[in-house]
């Protein structure tokens, strides 16, 4: 639907959007271009193009600053976490939306209530809990915390998706002789791909960028995640002043998300559409 407005107003609207989008693109382009510069070039001509596109900064950050190890940790841990969140939240959200049993409403509120609890209140007890379970300084322990704190939002979003199908769907599956579990696997799951993809993307972005918990629960430097690695690099910049190398690190941290986003942008937007409206 569009309003019929005069030409001048239309041009103005396009101009505003183009300007805003240009700022977004240029900021990313600036990060990328700076990562090819030398520190001298950065300080002398901060807004100019690099003299040559050399990959020295990338080589340096990959081996010297050990970013390769952090990158591998993140590439391994984040997808596993995201999958486990789905394995837990999709069935839970399904029965909380499309089954009838006692305490259904209570349990749903109990999960959604978690969205309002600042994770920071659980920080110190979680620290002791992980230490009791010998899961401090372990990526497994951190994963449990990530999964537990992501369930509220995931179930909330999925509840919106599962609520948007007509009841007749389950009934048709029932008439066709499906058991409840079969109809969940064969009817509901295939129809929910948009919702599942949306939740996947949000959790992926959130956990990939998270660094407060990762900073506190992981002390062993070899187990660092990329987000903490970048943060630690930023911290060390005040001594080394090696900013261009940091930018190479930032590019590496952004790259998977940007690639992901380019292919998924439409699905993210559509997913938000369904989820938000029902929520």
Q: Which residues 148-207 are close enough to bind other proteins by CB under 8 A?
A: 148-149, 151-152, 155, 167, 170-171, 173-174, 180-181, 183-184, 205
Do 141 and 217 form a contact (C-beta atoms < 8 A)? yes
CA-nearest of 112, 142, 269 to 194 is 269
Cα torsion 233, 234, 238, 239 to 10°: value is: 0
Number of residues that bind other proteins (CB under 8 A): 104
Query: Of 64, 72, 76, 212, which lies in the binding site for other proteins, with binding defined by CB under 8 A?
Result: 212
Which CB atom, from 51 or from 279, has the smaller least distance to other proteins? 279
Q: State yes or no: residue 231 binds other proteins (CB under 8 A).
A: yes
Min dist CB 222 to other proteins, Å, is: 20
Stretch that binds other proteins, among 56-64, 68-76, 191-199, 252-260 (CB under 8 A): 252-260
Stretch that binds other proteins, among 51-59, 65-73, 74-82, 125-133 (CB under 8 A): 125-133
How many angstroms separate the CA atoms of 179 and 222, rounded? 48
Query: Of 20, 49, 51, 140, which lies in the binding site for other proteins, with binding defined by CB under 8 A?
Result: 20
Stretch that binds other proteins, among 54-62, 67-75, 115-123, 189-197 (CB under 8 A): 115-123
CA-nearest of 259, 146, 135, 157 to 210 is 146
Min dist CB 192 to other proteins, Å, is: 14
How many angstroms separate the CA atoms of 98 and 129, rounded? 34
- 208-245 in b/e form (b: 16+ CB < 10 A) is bebbebbebbbeeeebbbbbbbbbbbeeeeeeeebbbb
Which residues, numbered 57-86, are part of the site for other proteins (CB under 8 A)? none
């Amino acid at each position: 639907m569009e309003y019929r407005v005069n030409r001048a107003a239309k041009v103005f609207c396009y101009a505003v959007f183009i300007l805003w989008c240009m700022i977004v693109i240029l900021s990313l382009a600036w990060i990328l271009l700076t990562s090819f510069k030398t520190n001298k070039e950065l300080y002398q001509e901060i807004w100019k193009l690099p003299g040559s596109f050399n990959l020295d900064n990338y080589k340096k950050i990959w081996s010297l600053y050990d970013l390769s190890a952090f990158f591998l940790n993140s590439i391994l841990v984040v997808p596993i976490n995201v999958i486990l969140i789905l394995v837990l939240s999709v069935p839970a959200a399904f029965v909380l939306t499309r089954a009838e049993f006692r305490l259904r409403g209570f349990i749903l509120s109990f999960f959604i209530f978690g969205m309002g609890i600042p994770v920071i209140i659980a920080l110190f007890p979680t620290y002791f809990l992980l230490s009791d379970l010998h899961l401090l300084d372990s990526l497994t322990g951190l994963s449990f915390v990530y999964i537990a704190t992501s369930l509220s939002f995931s179930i909330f979003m999925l509840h919106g998706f599962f609520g948007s199908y007509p009841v007749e769907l389950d009934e048709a599956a029932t008439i066709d002789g499906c058991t409840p579990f079969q109809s969940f696997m064969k009817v509901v799951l295939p129809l929910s791909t948009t919702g599942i993809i949306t939740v996947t993307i949000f959790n992926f972005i959130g956990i990939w960028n998270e660094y407060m918990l990762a900073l506190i629960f992981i002390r062993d430097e070899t187990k660092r995640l990329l987000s903490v690695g970048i943060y630690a690099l930023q911290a060390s910049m005040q001594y080394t002043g090696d900013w261009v190398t940091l930018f190479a690190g930032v590019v590496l941290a952004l790259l998977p998300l940007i690639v992901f986003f380019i292919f998924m942008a439409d699905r993210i937007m559509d997913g938000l559409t369904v989820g938000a409206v029902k929520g």
